[in-house]
């Protein structure tokens, strides 16, 4: 659910930002295409840790520079960028999940805890 939320959110924010530009430069179009690509990859669950890291860095850059400030701001903080940083950080630590392309390609991650060699002291 986190991955889907972030993928849809990043794609929608990118599409809205691009549609608000009257005469976008090459770099704005390139950045928006990268945002749409990241959103699509997150939605599908492909290269999830890498794409979530790129999304987190891009949202942190937006927060630091103030690029693309949109109307939903609270005391000068872009709430959608804050949400993107938090959710993408959670996805980086949690992984892609069971219903993703990564899980199909590489298998599910299993944590194996070896048995303890210590004898309980009585």
| pTM greater than the 0.75 cutoff | no
Mean pLDDT for the stretch of residues 35-55: 89
Does residue 89 have a pLDDT over 60? Answer: yes
Mean pLDDT for the stretch of residues 10-34: 85
Cα separation, 63 vs 34, whole angstroms: 18
**Is there a contact between 67 and 59 (Cβ–Cβ < 8 Å)?**
no
* Alpha-carbon torsion angle 47, 50, 53, 58, nearest 10: -90
The tokens for 7 are 């993928």
> pLDDT of 63-82, one tens digit each?
777 665 555 545 555 778 88
Reported confidence tier of residue 27, pLDDT bands at 50, 70, 90: confident
Cα separation, 122 vs 115, whole angstroms: 19
Does residue 112 have a pLDDT over 60? Answer: yes
Residue 41's pLDDT is 92
């Amino acid at each position: 659910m986190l991955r889907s939320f972030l993928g849809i959110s990043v794609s929608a924010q990118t599409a809205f930002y691009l549609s608000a530009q009257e005469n976008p430069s090459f770099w704005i179009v390139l950045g928006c295409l990268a945002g749409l690509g990241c959103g699509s990859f997150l939605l599908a669950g492909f290269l999830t840790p890498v794409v979530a890291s790129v999304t987190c860095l891009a949202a942190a850059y937006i927060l630091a520079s103030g690029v693309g400030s949109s109307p939903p701001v609270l005391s000068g903080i872009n709430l959608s960028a804050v949400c993107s940083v938090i959710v993408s950080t959670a996805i980086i630590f949690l992984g892609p999940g069971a219903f993703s392309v990564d899980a199909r390609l590489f298998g599910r991650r299993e944590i194996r805890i070896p048995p303890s060699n210590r004898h309980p002291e009585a």
